[in-house]
Structure 1
């Protein structure tokens, strides 16, 4: 029986022991601290750019993964000299503290180790009773079993209080000394070591003499222990005590806000930002704002990125000094804004890539009316026909619409999304042809990344082996956080647009010619080649400028965040100067290699820019993208037969043997009408000899400028209630001829030289018939609606 009792007691002891061991194991929470942290943003070299306060109102930076040697030495010599040797508590320190407290009749020493203090911090400072002290001892031993000494020190340094709402070593060094913990001096390390242990001195601005004395006693101890020498001791003692917490840096506030929205809250974010460049770009933006606000323009944004890596080097989301009344808190870099003309280079490159145009192919530049859409050039003038590259460099709207009409807006919509434009949330039909003129919204972030992708495609082209290097994607989103190589999202493993098409586009964007009303382009002189494009949205609400080299992309937006337009707010006048000032502070870049393996030598008609035909009289041999061999031959040079007096003739009125056969550059009548005014060397087509006039004349003599075929015209009423008028216009190859105008077979007038006629017909369907004095005629149908829409 006694044996049974002994066995039962034995099993009871074992069970109790197991329960105690299990309780000991489970008593430590999985995570010691559940307090919220501040979100901090650092530059690429670890300098603080900004921070957001934790949700509990404390400045508490994320836990550190190491403690500076100076602070470690100071803390251990002040708090716990046997830290690296005890199991979490020090019995000798506890006995000594008990004896000191008994002698003093009050608590003058706690005898706590750093590990025990860590327990107290994690338990939110429970009452300092004997029972709580025993709990701290047990938990301290449990912590020592779980964490290394380095980890314990890191957790203590991260959660120790340093005065007011300043928690943690990194927070304290920035709030009191305006630098990171790794850069503190011995005097600063000693000061921070004594702060958490001194409730009465918890704010450095108070009890300064007592705080200084306590710091100096620790410095003397470090000297006596041989940790520092006498000179270091003296220098450390001479350091002043901080008066009050300093404001934290605010060098990239919009990027910090964005990082929080992107899911990086309560983390220490190491960004790709170059601190020196960030400061300089911010200063440039502020300087330009001081001029812009004279025109009531209050907001601007700038982004600089490395085109090879996609790393953002500077991020200025808005003007800091604009004030909240002018929405300076809005991050314009991520705000969708009307794109203006900033997307035109992508259309130009796409059409080159598909062989739809050549760089200098003539594009019509005449008034157009397409399903109610009537685009106008910024200058309100027309060139008749203009080379595609010149249309791009001059940012002409009408040729761009003509090109998009040929390319198809549905395809362009898809291409932009593939290149990285994330704001095209509507269907292609929603935007239509206005997509190329600012009918869609884009962000400075996306668009800068798209230009960077173009440049990086050329960077990947290897001129030595005549092929691409696709070790990484050319088109990758820009990113602002330091990432592991290859971890960033990639959009394509091959070039979306060919290097040759992009090279031609970059060359066109080097030509900074602008029409006369924008002649101030001449002020932009740079010591390096920069491909750049500006954009201005309707109503002068958004001014864009994006420039790119082989190394950098610079994106600028200027305007008002609330959408208010201002006269003169154009990409050229408001955004381009800022962009060039930013480029001036960047290292100079070499230009791109010409991708010769994607090109071929081709004969080009000098006047039309198309592939030369047998009728072209002036021919240039150029290196052109290979797909250019699909472009049709020159459509404007035609064979013309003349008599000895220079009149046009044909076989029915003149023997072939008496004819002079020549080639003539002939544009359609409307194009010729405008082209001739800008190109004095243009030769009008000779008229037919009188006896040769017949139905065989194949080249159109006249063309209606307005109204367009099957168009719908709205004529408003005048202020007095009477019906207003519309001005119809016709182009004729021989302006001196007389044209007779008829509406629905009713004669309404005749014109000579200036073929314009003002008419005021009521609502209805009409046919306009025009007859010249040679009997040639054209007819065009259109519809007029009244104010009621009928």
Structure 2
């Protein structure tokens, strides 16, 4: 009866719910690239290297070596071995010989788990009691696994998982017999045997004590394996060991990020497999380092770069700074996550939205002329004006005024709304930016910018970046049509690389790219699509210091294409990925001068992409035929007589563009007076467009000086206009020559409706408000 009660009590102890031996033990984290290559072994929270490896994933040779060295009777004793204890006590206290341990694996696990002091008899008794407790509560397999994962292996290295990874750069399942024997003897004197001696070539590490102890263990091993003499030769070979100081510390900014986000991904376990490709990471690091070495004389000291595979949105490479360990440039700051002014790198999305909203097509002619948008008067980077430019030219040449004009035409969504939808964080209010947002007035991170460029590569779908292989792939949200994304990519491919004539460009590769320069030369950017990849490059200083050399096309673009050339040289697959097709696109013939459908007199024609149902469509009116008398050379009206008359084609440019032509010294034949035949051809011309006063603007006048409020009335007019007439309501207030302004002083406060009428009867209106202040 007593035996039955004892058996029942033991069963209750064994099967009662208990914590696992691995519970509450802090573990290290292994960070690997997508091919399994080690990026970092992170310390556990107690500053130790410790990995928990299941027993079935540990080399059987290592398990057998440990048991042969530490506890050959492990499977037969109840937690302590009386024979070993007596032998150890006699050797230590009776014979006066060297101290010999009598602890079993279970006793050693008890000491490690409860941090016991076992150098005196009382401590040893506590250790024995704890060992019996372990044997009652856990199976032999669980105890053996726990010991192998907690045993000391020199310094702050614990467990065979961390030891095999640090010393041999391989998992515990792949250890050979010489490697297993070395690890088996190391826990007996980890501080002494763990001091490894370096050979002259600094490649192999082996201490004399460790080598001697391994030889003694191998002699015992041979007694158990007499039929395996081939291992003798292996044991005579030098054993390659490494130290913890040599652990890889690769892609530090990306590793920092995924480690910091571990709390969000608790299911990931002790191994984090990232989407990073170590081969591409090294390529970017090398190119950035070499480029900055050459640019140091220009004050270029820091850079960031990011490479994303649009097919799965995996981050293949991330260079957060030029040197992670350089404190002078704040190297540990991750530039890819920092908010910076993007300069002109956001302009492609303005044109993509305009394509979707029917504002333009790639060959639409825009005006690069002095312009005002309410109180905002942007300027081009070079301070000049090009006159008429196509939308494609305006984008690739980064003309500011056309971009602001296009942004002002956007409705739903506006550019501000689009950026919010695209995930740009921490944006201020819409009124805070106004149209300056177009030219980099806001701030984005490199990660946000890369996602938006990836959207162009993913047919208009905005998808989340993937940092870990376990991150799910999402379909994303559609922010642009596939047609607008395709056409925008095509427009960006017309941007020539800055070294187009150099040897490095001998193998042309279609690259859809754009540069950006922030205000006061604080940031230089280059971003684009290279086959299936998005590459973004930034140069600047983390402290915001400006540098005249920080110009996108001069500082960032060369590094961008240096990396592109490196990808080609490394034979990275840069083939275009599969895109959505067929698309709702057509090729349409247009007049090159106007970007509109050609009329009968258009001399030069081309083709452009056209989105049916969206792209603007109208007949060109720039080129018009004027009937001229052969004898006098003057315009004539009436029926055309080919015997006495001829047709001459003139270009009818609006007044603002005509003025730019004059300033640029580009001759244009002005249509002769009387060509309109009394208004018979007025339908061909364009109505005036008021440029001043500004729309939606309140003007203020002081009671003490009402005469100081004088408004400039100005409008652009067609080339066939000679004079412009101004009205307030129905009251005529004056006229001015085409291209000239008229000064007007309001005689009261309130709302006014201004009307500009040209000498052909075409008009434009604008509402303004005049208020009063003291």
Q: What is the TM-score when the length of structure 2 is the normalising length? A: 0.79
CA distance in 2, matches of 1:306, 1:36: 35
Residues 184 and 369 of structure 1, relative CA distance in 2, 3 Å threshold:
farther
User: Are the equivalent residues in 2 in contact too, given 1:500–1:625 (CA < 8 A)?
Assistant: no
CA distance in 1, matches of 2:558, 2:244: 39
User: Are the equivalent residues in 2 in contact too, given 1:598–1:626 (CA < 8 A)?
Assistant: no
CA distance in 2, matches of 1:777, 1:203: 91
Residues 293 and 71 of structure 1, relative CA distance in 2, 3 Å threshold:
farther
Query: Counterparts in 2 of 1:569-718, with a 5 A limit?
Result: 569-586=550-567, 587-591=572-576, 597-608=582-593, 610-612=595-597, 614-615=599-600, 617-618=602-603, 622=607, 624-627=609-612, 630-634=615-619, 636-637=621-622, 641-644=626-629, 647=634, 654=638, 665-674=651-660, 680=666, 683-688=669-674, 699=685
User: Are the equivalent residues in 1 in contact too, given 2:252–2:324 (CA < 8 A)?
Assistant: no
Aligned residue in 1 for 2:247: 248
Answer yes or no: is 1:480 the counterpart of 2:458: no
CA distance in 1, matches of 2:89, 2:322: 60
Q: More deviation in 325-334 or 115-124?
A: 115-124
Residues 272 and 192 of structure 1, relative CA distance in 2, 3 Å threshold:
same
Answer yes or no: is 1:160 the counterpart of 2:151: yes
Residues 330 and 119 of structure 1, relative CA distance in 2, 3 Å threshold:
same
Query: Counterparts in 2 of 1:715-730, with a 5 A limit?
Result: none
Name the SS of the counterpart of 1:457 in structure 2.
coil
How far did 1:710 drift? 8.1
Residues 785 and 498 of structure 1, relative CA distance in 2, 3 Å threshold:
closer
User: Are the equivalent residues in 2 in contact too, given 1:62–1:268 (CA < 8 A)?
Assistant: no
How far did 1:443 drift? 1.4
Answer yes or no: is 1:540 the counterpart of 2:536: no
How far did 1:118 drift? 2.9
How far did 1:331 drift? 0.5
How far did 1:350 drift? 2.6
Aligned residue in 2 for 1:436: 438
Aligned residue in 2 for 1:114: 105
CA distance in 2, matches of 1:125, 1:489: 51
Residues 564 and 102 of structure 1, relative CA distance in 2, 3 Å threshold:
closer
User: Are the equivalent residues in 1 in contact too, given 2:530–2:564 (CA < 8 A)?
Assistant: no
How far did 1:318 drift? 0.9
Name the SS of the counterpart of 2:528 in structure 1.
strand
Query: Counterparts in 2 of 1:23-62, with a 5 A limit?
Result: 23-26=13-16, 28-61=18-51
How far did 1:240 drift? 7.2
How far did 1:553 drift? 1.7
How far did 1:703 drift? 7.9
How far did 1:317 drift? 1.0
Provide, for residues 368-420 of structure 1, a one-character-per-residue CA deviation record: whole Å limited to 9, x for no partner.
Answer: 222322222212112222111111111211111111111238433343444x4
Q: Which runs of 5+ in 2 are unaligned?
A: 198-205, 701-707
Name the SS of the counterpart of 1:290 in structure 2.
helix
CA distance in 2, matches of 1:668, 1:537: 33
Aligned residue in 2 for 1:501: 484
Aligned residue in 2 for 1:310: 313
Q: Which runs of 5+ in 1 are unaligned?
A: 1-9, 459-473, 715-722
CA distance in 2, matches of 1:609, 1:739: 24
User: Are the equivalent residues in 1 in contact too, given 2:459–2:579 (CA < 8 A)?
Assistant: no
Q: What is the TM-score when the length of structure 1 is the normalising length? A: 0.77
CA distance in 1, matches of 2:160, 2:50: 9
Q: More deviation in 192-201 or 586-595?
A: 586-595
Aligned residues: 735
Aligned residue in 2 for 1:341: 344
CA distance in 2, matches of 1:318, 1:685: 59
User: Are the equivalent residues in 1 in contact too, given 2:302–2:539 (CA < 8 A)?
Assistant: yes
Residues 409 and 423 of structure 1, relative CA distance in 2, 3 Å threshold:
farther
CA distance in 2, matches of 1:202, 1:393: 65
User: Are the equivalent residues in 2 in contact too, given 1:212–1:241 (CA < 8 A)?
Assistant: no
Answer yes or no: is 1:325 the counterpart of 2:311: no
CA distance in 2, matches of 1:309, 1:780: 51
Residues 433 and 597 of structure 1, relative CA distance in 2, 3 Å threshold:
same
How far did 1:506 drift? 1.6
User: Are the equivalent residues in 1 in contact too, given 2:652–2:718 (CA < 8 A)?
Assistant: no
Aligned residue in 1 for 2:705: none
Q: More deviation in 310-319 or 580-589?
A: 580-589
Answer yes or no: is 1:215 the counterpart of 2:209: no
1:456 aligned to which of 455, 458, 462: 458
CA distance in 2, matches of 1:21, 1:774: 107
CA distance in 1, matches of 2:574, 2:453: 16
Name the SS of the counterpart of 1:589 in structure 2.
coil
Aligned residue in 2 for 1:192: 183
CA distance in 2, matches of 1:85, 1:360: 87
CA distance in 1, matches of 2:191, 2:688: 96
1:528 aligned to which of 491, 509, 513: 509
Residues 480 and 767 of structure 1, relative CA distance in 2, 3 Å threshold:
closer
CA distance in 2, matches of 1:553, 1:169: 41
Q: More deviation in 361-370 or 131-140?
A: 131-140
Q: More deviation in 296-305 or 635-644?
A: 635-644
Residues 391 and 612 of structure 1, relative CA distance in 2, 3 Å threshold:
same
How far did 1:676 drift? 6.3
CA distance in 2, matches of 1:454, 1:105: 80
Aligned residue in 2 for 1:134: 128
CA distance in 1, matches of 2:695, 2:418: 31
Q: More deviation in 88-97 or 431-440?
A: 88-97
CA distance in 2, matches of 1:368, 1:434: 14
CA distance in 2, matches of 1:391, 1:17: 88
CA distance in 2, matches of 1:130, 1:194: 22
User: Are the equivalent residues in 1 in contact too, given 2:513–2:526 (CA < 8 A)?
Assistant: yes
User: Are the equivalent residues in 1 in contact too, given 2:676–2:682 (CA < 8 A)?
Assistant: no
CA distance in 1, matches of 2:743, 2:221: 98
Q: More deviation in 689-698 or 475-484?
A: 689-698
Aligned residue in 1 for 2:202: none
Provide, for residues 211-237 of structure 1, a one-character-per-residue CA deviation record: whole Å limited to 9, x for no partner.
Answer: 33112222333445446622101114x
Aligned residue in 2 for 1:171: 162
Name the SS of the counterpart of 2:521 in structure 1.
coil
Aligned residue in 2 for 1:421: 423
User: Are the equivalent residues in 2 in contact too, given 1:409–1:428 (CA < 8 A)?
Assistant: no
Residues 61 and 533 of structure 1, relative CA distance in 2, 3 Å threshold:
farther
Answer yes or no: is 1:397 the counterpart of 2:400: yes
How far did 1:441 drift? 1.6
Name the SS of the counterpart of 1:643 in structure 2.
strand
User: Are the equivalent residues in 1 in contact too, given 2:302–2:540 (CA < 8 A)?
Assistant: yes
User: Are the equivalent residues in 1 in contact too, given 2:621–2:684 (CA < 8 A)?
Assistant: no
User: Are the equivalent residues in 1 in contact too, given 2:343–2:517 (CA < 8 A)?
Assistant: yes
Name the SS of the counterpart of 1:320 in structure 2.
coil
Across the aligned residues of Structure 1 and Structure 2, the Cα RMSD in angstroms comes to 5.0
Aligned residue in 1 for 2:237: 235
User: Are the equivalent residues in 1 in contact too, given 2:626–2:650 (CA < 8 A)?
Assistant: no
CA distance in 2, matches of 1:452, 1:776: 46
